Amino acid sequence: MTPKNTDILIIGAGLTGLTIAYLLKDSNLNIKIVETRNRVGGRIHTIKSNNNTTIELGATWIQRPHTQLLSLLSELKMEIFEQKIGNTAIYEANTFTPAQDVSLPPNNDPSYRIKGGSINLINTLANFVDAQDILLNQKVEKIEVSKDGLKVVTTNTEFLTKQVISTVPPFLFSNSIQLSTELQDNVKSVLNKTHTWMGESIKVGLVYEKPFWRSTDFIGTVFSNVGPITEFYDHSNFQDSKYALKGFIKNEYAKLTKEKRLEMILRQLKKFYGDQVNDYLSYEELVWSDEVATSMPYVDYVMPHQNNGHKVYQNTYLHSRLFIAGTETAQNFGGYMEGSIRSAQFVANEILKEHQS
């Protein structure tokens, strides 16, 4: 097989990978992105239900301190809208006391969603890259040091590249991609103890014809310790023409079937809203621990946010040709979309500095 040549090979077409390509778009460097999934976005995964309602199965919310993400959105002329939570929420403290209405304090620090869905950001960034330079269904299996650079072997192609930027979650990178020259033990140990943010979560959404859950003060916000639902929110679109409820259920429900999860969710919602919960138009869910391009079981317990932004992520490897990027590697806001942008900025700046000197 004759390897394809490139200057920079980015592994992963998630938010970090696409932002790096965007930031390097005027650099004259030849950049290719290889992605194991059959879609772009990674942990950003917005789907359309059968009646065209947008459901976020991955990243959804942005907050004011997410300054780099907000300025990127504004540069790309993309709009956000507030996630309303209402003045009252339903709260289930435990199994032996009934659900109660609790007043919510004034929401001085609201969360925001991207108009049209988080995937709009991904698609907008992807549009700056030549379509033929984003290669889907290409799982990187091996990176070998060669005389002229790095050889990257995917399921069906080989690339010869001057530099590689991995945006694969560090734990997955360390445990699923073979390197011809092993990383030092102290570096490997950090990668193996970097938690993949939200890798165990389960997102669920229910689409309805009408938002029957809304009343004067209440708009669908639920917090529960009883389960399966842990938190639920109104997930209707910006125009308020498509209606949905969406949120998280407890991670341990991953072991059940989809049908069983739905049955238990409906049973819980029925306590709040009655039989109308059964009239859903569609049920959408994603069990992120089943996503092999995001998650794999840890050997030992790894604490969320452990090692985010560790100094090993500020170095390069394999003769200065390999960067380990991605949201978990960011020094601030690691795990969040904001972390992806910051990681992308760090790597793009390093590359630009090197090529300008």
Ligand X SMILES: Cc1cc2nc3c(=O)[nH]c(=O)nc-3n(C[C@H](O)[C@H](O)[C@H](O)COP(=O)(O)OP(=O)(O)OC[C@H]3O[C@@H](n4cnc5c(N)ncnc54)[C@H](O)[C@@H]3O)c2cc1C
Token pair for residue 89?
Answer: 């929420």
**Does 288 help bind ligand X (rule: CB under 6 A)?**
yes
Closest CA to 308 of 186, 171, 195, 184: 195
- Compare residues 60 and 221 and give the one whose CB is closer to ligand X: 60
Identify the burial level of 171 via C-beta atoms within 10 angstroms of its C-beta, where 0-12 means exposed, 13-18 middle and 19 or more buried.
buried
Q: Of residues 8, 12, 114, 310, which one binds ligand X by CB under 6 A? A: 12
CB of 57 to ligand X, least distance (A): 7
Binds ligand X by CB under 6 A, chosen from 10, 59, 73, 206: 59
What is the distance of C-alpha 90 from the center of its chain? 28
198 binds ligand X (CB under 6 A): yes
- Considering only residues 128 to 147 of the shown chain, the ones binding ligand X according to CB under 6 A are 139-140
Cβ-based burial of 196 (10 A; exposed 0-12, middle 13-18, buried ≥19): buried
Interaction of residue 232 with ligand X, rule CB under 6 A: no
Report residue 147 as tokens.
Answer: 């005389």
Residue 284 interacts with ligand X (CB under 6 A)?
A: no
Amino acid occupying residue 134? I
CB of residue 95 vs ligand X: minimum separation in angstroms?
A: 26
Query: What is d(CA 203, CA 338) in angstroms, rounded to the nearest whole number?
Result: 20
Binding test (CB under 6 A) with ligand X, winner from 7, 47, 61, 81: 61
SS3 237: coil
By CB under 6 A, residue 55 contacts ligand X: no
Question: Binding mask 201-220 vs ligand X (x if CB under 6 A, - otherwise)?
Answer: x-x-----------------
175 three-class SS: helix
Closest CA to 101 of 208, 265, 219, 277: 219
Taking the least distance from each CB to ligand X, the nearer of 37 and 242 is: 37
Write out the residues near ligand X by the rule CB under 6 A.
Answer: 11-17, 34-37, 42-44, 58-61, 139-140, 167-169, 172, 176-177, 197-198, 201, 203, 288, 293-294, 326-327, 335-340
